[in-house]
Amino acid sequence: MSIAREGLADSDGAFGAAASFFFEGAAHTEALARLEHLVESGLHCGIVVGPRGTGKSTVLAIVAQSCRAAGGELVAIDVTGLDEIEFLKRLVERLEVTSRARGRAPLLWSEVADALTGRALAGLQCVLIIDHLDRATAACQHLVRRLVARGGRDTAETWILGFSGRSFPMVLREWREQNDLRIELARLTESESHAFLRSLLKANGRPADAFEGVADALVAAGSGVPAELRRLAELALLLADGRQSRVSPEAVASVLDELRGLRFSA
């Protein structure tokens, strides 16, 4: 599998946060390389962790698209808020199983287990990406642990488990012990943050000097978090006078004051 960085698209909507714009910092480059190794080596399980907003879901979306482009079987599910029944239903659907379970958990489990066992017997690798695992219900998380542990490591499955970052760097021991590889994303460096802003301007068809004089303020406020930096930059661009205008220091100050007010009110 060769990781594709450009032209991102998430055709089946498995990850709602998948973006058409992706800036690859050093941590992202390493994460993609390690995920490529995880899949190509047929390792059983990897976990993807990191602070909030550092691009974990986007990286997973890139891996998912690359698996599809390579012709491999890929199941990708964002489990935010899901219970065990809803998760099993989605898993059955993505595995293209004709279900007769009618929402009954034991039968759904059997259908999923049989489908995965059948792929293992046929020597067909299946990559399963589960995003925002820590935002699922406790019952769903327990079910995922059972599925990953099912059959030990002598299976044709590769599980990639993504965590939201809300409790980073804490990862429960049962997840730490479950994985073969831990992939950790990090904040952008100061120089990467400036490069991120330049690439964002290019992607939006804005002049290269649109942030001249205000880039340092945006970088400082973004604290190396791509999601935060992008939000600040896009809000500042909205306040610019016309598509060819530079963003003024006053516009940046207005954006920062508004965001501080929102955080204070919350």
- Domain 190-265 in CATH 1.20.120? The answer is no
Q: How far is CA 220 from CA 95, 96, 157, 190, 252, in A?
A: 45, 47, 42, 8, 12
Query: Is the fold of 26-184 the same as that of 190-265?
Result: no
Tokens of residue 209, six digits: 């000097």
Is residue 103 left, alpha or beta, with left meaning phi > 0 and alpha meaning psi from -120 to 50? left
List the chain domain ranges: 26-184, 190-265
Average pLDDT score over residue span 154-181: 85
The CATH number assigned to the domain with range 26-184 reads 3.40.50.300
Q: What pLDDT digit, counting tens, does each position of 216-240 carry?
A: 999 999 999 999 999 999 999 988 7
Q: What pLDDT digit, counting tens, does each position of 113-160 carry?
A: 999 999 999 989 999 999 999 999 999 999 999 999 886 666 789 999
Tokens of residue 11, six digits: 């055709």
Q: What pLDDT digit, counting tens, does each position of 69-119 carry?
A: 988 899 999 999 999 999 999 999 999 999 999 999 999 999 999 999 999
d(C-alpha 158, C-alpha 36), whole Å: 11
d(C-alpha 41, C-alpha 125), whole Å: 11
d(C-alpha 129, C-alpha 67), whole Å: 11
Q: What pLDDT digit, counting tens, does each position of 10-63 carry?
A: 433 343 344 457 888 999 999 999 999 999 998 899 999 999 999 999 999 999
- DSSP code per residue over the chain: -----SS---TT-S-TT--S-----HHHHHHHHHHHHHHHTT-SEEEEE-STTSSHHHHHHHHHHHHHHTT-EEEEEE-TT--HHHHHHHHHHHTT-----TT-HHHHHHHHHHHHHHHHHTT--EEEEEESGGGS-HHHHHHHHHHHHTTTT-SSEEEEEE--STTTT---HHHHHH-SEEEE--PPPHHHHHHHHHHHHHHTT--TTTTTTTHHHHHHHHTT-HHHHHHHHHHHHHHSSSTTSPPPHHHHHHHHHHHHHHHHH-
Model confidence at 1, in pLDDT bands (50, 70, 90)?
A: low
